[in-house]
Amino acid sequence: MFKLFKTLRNAGTATVKYPFKPLEVAHGFRGKPEYDPQQCIACGACISACPANALTMETDLESGERRWQLFLGRCIYCARCEEVCPTRAIHLTEEFETAVMNKADLYMKGTFRLQHCRQCGEAFAPKKSVEYAMALMVASGVEASGIEALRPMYETCPSCKQKNNLSNNDRQNFRLHIQGDKS
């Protein structure tokens, strides 16, 4: 019996002194997500990738805003949002203590202005997404004058682009051509 006590005394402690000492986590530990709304372009890739539906996005056309929201109470720390984000606006930290006194503190939010179409005035995409597409053109080596010439195309909604393509004077309207053959 004394031999057992002697062995236990020499073994030391088996646990850490958490919460009195900080707990060191392993490299690559997936903890609480951190969101940077300045980096976000509100593309919605993270919303589609989230298996727990912790991420939501609402578009309000009347106010011209898109609202992004993360509810940490549903997050399973899978890091899919981090993997698909094109601008690295969301990433998982090593922080794991998410206890709060108020449920509202578990929400992370971002609000984005929508781009209005140059022709019809309808809101169709976040302004930051349009600017990001233009920045990608700069990064690919297109000259600044060429990019500014393309700005009207980027600031036009898909339905107006479609109408413009169908009614282009240089090309024959395919739909009118087919209707003309039938009569």
CATH label of the domain that carries residue 136: 3.30.70.20
Domain count, the chain: 1
- Tell me the pLDDT tens digit for each residue of 111-147: 999 999 999 999 999 999 999 988 888 888 888 788 8
Residue 1 within a domain: no
- Tell me the pLDDT tens digit for each residue of 147-172: 888 888 889 999 998 888 877 655 55
Residue 170 within a domain: no
d(CA 80, CA 93): 14
Residue 100 within a domain: yes
pLDDT at 165: 81
**Using an 8 Å Cβ cutoff, are 116 and 79 in contact?**
no
Residue range of the domain that includes 115: 23-163
The rounded mean pLDDT for the chain is 86
Residue 91 within a domain: yes
Residue 142 within a domain: yes
What's the one-letter identity of residue 91?
Answer: H
Share of the chain above pLDDT 90, in %: 55
Residue 72 within a domain: yes
Residue 179 within a domain: no
Name residue 60's beta-bridge partners: 65
**Secondary structure element (H or E) that encloses residue 59, with its range:** strand 55-60
- Tell me the pLDDT tens digit for each residue of 23-53: 888 888 899 999 999 999 999 999 999 999 9
